[in-house]
Structure 1
Amino acid sequence: MNIERRQTDHFHQRSDATTTTNQMTRQPQYRCLFLIFIAMAVCTSVIVSARPSAAQECQCRNVPGGYPCPSGCEKCSVGVDCSDSCGAELRWENMRPLPFGLYGPGGYAGPSRLAHLGEYRLRPGDEVQVFYLITRSQSSGMYRLTPGDSILIESVTNPEYTRGTLENGLVIQPDGTITVRLLGQVRAAGLSISQLKEVLNEEYEKYSNEPAIDVTPVKTNTLAEDVRAAVGGQNGFSQQAITVRVMPDGKIRLPGIGEVCVQGFSLGELKREMNLRYREIVVGLETEPILATQAPHYVHVLGEVGTPNRIQLEGPTTVLGAIASSGGHLPTGNLRQVVVFRRAEDWRLISTMLDLQGAIYGKRPTPADEIWVRDGDVIIVPARPIVRFDNWVQQIFTNGVYGLIPPGLQYGNSSN
């Protein structure tokens, strides 16, 4: 009996020990589950606190600018506006109600944003279409004859002095002279009708007491007609335009005035320059320039991107936009040290280094390093340090040292 009692007591002691051990083993598991539950509760409270409450969502109607809340199933969106930064970069904790769905299904067209440039200035490669117009406006001074103009010279008292007719006048020669009876060549270009009349009367008084010379213009302003004909032919005003390209030296060539330096000119400045030059040689001719085609704008993206290439800029583009157009970044890219090389107005080289990792990973809602790219920029996404080290090891050891050792010596002699 004593032996059976001792065996029973020993069995109960072992059972109690096993139960205690199991309880001690389960306590850390319960403790871990409890800690995980607490962590999930804290995260949920943070997320809920980050989102606006119902009262805050109702304030969406008070968004600056008077934007109404979207109707229907669209909720009032919240986000970050960089204009609220006051010089500091905002975080996701600074979210507030914003009119993200203001345009609804018409959002693909976007708002009428501010102009890309305050004033476009010409550069090499631009194509300018120049229209030529005969103004028919009254000139401020007396008209002066030019080579190619036709006149009628006649005398009431001496019909033999008459030269030309109203249908076919006497043409002023390219050297600016006309040929008349008894006098031979007389300079007419640069003189007004009254001045030429006075000169002829003075000269003919040597041969006649009262020459009574009269000068009548038959065809004038021929230089303007010549320019118009050179531009678009002689079939009226339907084709009075010429398209010129800005050359690498920043100049264009125009009929009648030759080379004009237009590098950095706005269209308004170009119009004034052309009209001033034409006004010196032509009366009643006005030009109107129009930008026909812009020179292409490019940026170059290379390094750890999907497709390193040259990207044509068709509108305002940021660094992230240029990287996305190149196939995005590779996992081996170091987004903390993205380099941008840029040429200034005098072609000197300037550069900057950008940290775009926070933007790519969604950590920074308004990244200060998300800058606009400029024509001619070179964007480099370098490799991570570990990738460069791996490449170094591969080149030095795998392809270098081990490449010089025969395969049999690398792995030992299989016959042994």
Structure 2
Amino acid sequence: MCGTCAPAALGAQAAAPAASAASTANDYRIGVDDVVQVSVWRNPDLGITVPVRPDGKISVPLIGDVAAGGRTATEVAADIQTRLTTYIRDPQVAVILTELRSHEYLSRVRVTGAVRQPVSIPYRQGMTVLDAVLAAGGTTEFAAGDRSHLYRKSDKDTKTMDVQLERILNRGDLTTNFTVSPGDVITVPERRL
């Protein structure tokens, strides 16, 4: 490889991750409790920095409530810009995420049903069903552990995985001790009497 070619090749390789990161940032969907900053060029009085309310909206001076939850910053900026044209000639709006808080809620694992303490715990890489159930204090005496389920939501549907919790706890059979993902829900039903 020639000496002048190497820097150009390295520059192209370095640009690829940067473009990927920018694409990911542009695709981020704003969630409840995320903090957004709205700036309107040459109109500092219309600028705000606010958390997204539980209803998914933010209040913007002059135009009122604007839906932000589930939308990208670019989509929210375009909506505000369109609505401001009634009051301002050629408004230029920027929406910037200053704090990403909603991912903390989405990045949890929940354990419900016949456990000692139903919990919503922060996801940790490598966490398994057993780890999550132990964080919930284990099962109660009324649990039907082998009828437990792990629910995982994807873009299109919810996947259900059978978990044989009694076998995991009592026999050390780790066949169904699945690795959990952020947003998973583990349910432990009670025995039928």
Partner residue, 1:325: 135
Q: CA deviation at 1:338?
A: 0.8
Asked if the contact 2:143–2:188 (Cα under 8 Å) also holds between the matched residues in 1, the reply is no
Alpha-carbon distance between aligned partners in 1 of 2:36 and 2:172, rounded to the nearest angstrom? 47
Which of the two has greater helix per residue?
A: 1
Question: Is 2:13 the partner of 1:122?
Answer: no
Question: Is 2:118 the partner of 1:302?
Answer: no
Superposed CA RMSD: 4.2
Asked if the contact 1:133–1:287 (Cα under 8 Å) also holds between the matched residues in 2, the reply is yes
Question: Is 2:119 the partner of 1:313?
Answer: no
Asked if the contact 2:111–2:118 (Cα under 8 Å) also holds between the matched residues in 1, the reply is yes
- Unpaired segments ≥5 residues, structure 1: 1-114, 135-223, 232-240, 393-416
Question: SS at the partner of 1:259?
Answer: strand
Question: How many equivalent pairs are there?
Answer: 162
Question: SS at the partner of 1:256?
Answer: coil
Alpha-carbon distance between aligned partners in 1 of 2:79 and 2:128, rounded to the nearest angstrom? 36
Q: CA deviation at 1:326?
A: 0.7
TM-score (norm 2): 0.57
Alpha-carbon distance between aligned partners in 1 of 2:179 and 2:97, rounded to the nearest angstrom? 34
Q: CA deviation at 1:308?
A: 1.8
Asked if the contact 1:129–1:244 (Cα under 8 Å) also holds between the matched residues in 2, the reply is yes
Q: CA deviation at 1:335?
A: 3.2
RCO (CA 8 Å, sep 6+): is it higher in 1 or 2? 2
Partner residue, 2:66: 260
Mapping of residues 142-153 of structure 1, within 5 Å: none
Question: Is 2:64 the partner of 1:290?
Answer: no
Asked if the contact 1:302–1:309 (Cα under 8 Å) also holds between the matched residues in 2, the reply is yes
Question: SS at the partner of 2:29?
Answer: coil
Question: SS at the partner of 1:242?
Answer: strand
Q: CA deviation at 1:370?
A: 4.3
Asked if the contact 2:40–2:46 (Cα under 8 Å) also holds between the matched residues in 1, the reply is no
TM-score (norm 1): 0.31
Question: Is 2:55 the partner of 1:245?
Answer: no
Distance 1:314 1:273, change over 3 A: farther
Partner residue, 2:76: 270
**Which of 317, 324, 337 is equivalent to 2:147?**
337
Alpha-carbon distance between aligned partners in 2 of 1:373 and 1:244, rounded to the nearest angstrom? 23
Residue by residue over 1:39-65, the C-alpha shift from the partner in whole angstroms, topping out at 9 and shown as x without a partner, is xxxxxxxxxxxxxxxxxxxxxxxxxxx
Residue by residue over 1:98-125, the C-alpha shift from the partner in whole angstroms, topping out at 9 and shown as x without a partner, is xxxxxxxxxxxxxxxxx9xx654234x3
Distance 1:230 1:278, change over 3 A: closer
Distance 1:120 1:321, change over 3 A: farther
Question: SS at the partner of 1:246?
Answer: coil
Q: For residue 354 of structure 1, what is the amino acid of its counterpart?
A: V
Alpha-carbon distance between aligned partners in 2 of 1:371 and 1:314, rounded to the nearest angstrom? 8
Q: For residue 112 of structure 2, what is the amino acid of its counterpart?
A: V
Residue by residue over 1:264-299, the C-alpha shift from the partner in whole angstroms, topping out at 9 and shown as x without a partner, is 213343344334444663446432321525243563
